[in-house]
Amino acid sequence: MGPDWYCDEVIPGRVAVEVLAKTGRTLAFRPPIPGFGTDHVIVIPTLHVTSLLDLDDDLAVELLGTVKEVAALAVEQHGGCQVLTTLGSEQHNRHLHWHVAVGEGVARFVAR
Ligand SMILES: [Zn+2]
């Protein structure tokens, strides 16, 4: 998996993924190798955007709409989910992507 697996493989259709939702500029899919959780969906812009910090407001609305669609499905099917994106040293793939994840293996925020 290269530094931008989404632009290199997913968006051009070089790898088969299960598409859950899409718009003109966004795509939500289950990765072929489960990332984490019992259900895990990735949501990306289909134009290259490096991270949340580089996302323009217009595309942000469209992208969050797709995140919302798959998150609603996860809540309906599993009762809850986590929605997260990573930045800087925490971001291993240099293409903005949101995780919508359910179940074990998802980060847990512990109340202090
Ligand atoms: Zn990219």
Cα distances from 111 to residues 37, 108, in angstroms, run 21, 10
CA 110 to ligand 1 center in whole angstroms: 33
CA 111 to ligand 1 center in whole angstroms: 35
The helix (run of H) or strand (run of E) holding residue 5 is: helix 5-5
Torsion of CA 6, 12, 18, 23, to 10 degrees: 90
The enclosing domain of 59 has a CATH number of: 3.30.428.10
CA 92 to ligand 1 center in whole angstroms: 12
**Which positions ≥6 away from 69 have C-beta within 8 Å?**
21, 28
Q: Structure pTM?
A: 0.90
Residue 9 belongs to a domain = yes
Query: Regarding predicted confidence, which is higher, 78 or 105?
Result: 78
Residue 56 belongs to a domain = yes
Enclosing domain of residue 26: 5-102
Beta strand 82-85 with 39-45: parallel, antiparallel or unpaired?
Answer: unpaired
What are the pLDDT digits (tens) for 42-65?
999 999 999 999 999 999 999 999
Residue 107 belongs to a domain = no
- On the question of pLDDT at 1 being above 90, the answer is no
- The CA distance from 65 to 90, in Å, is 24
CA 1 to ligand 1 center in whole angstroms: 13
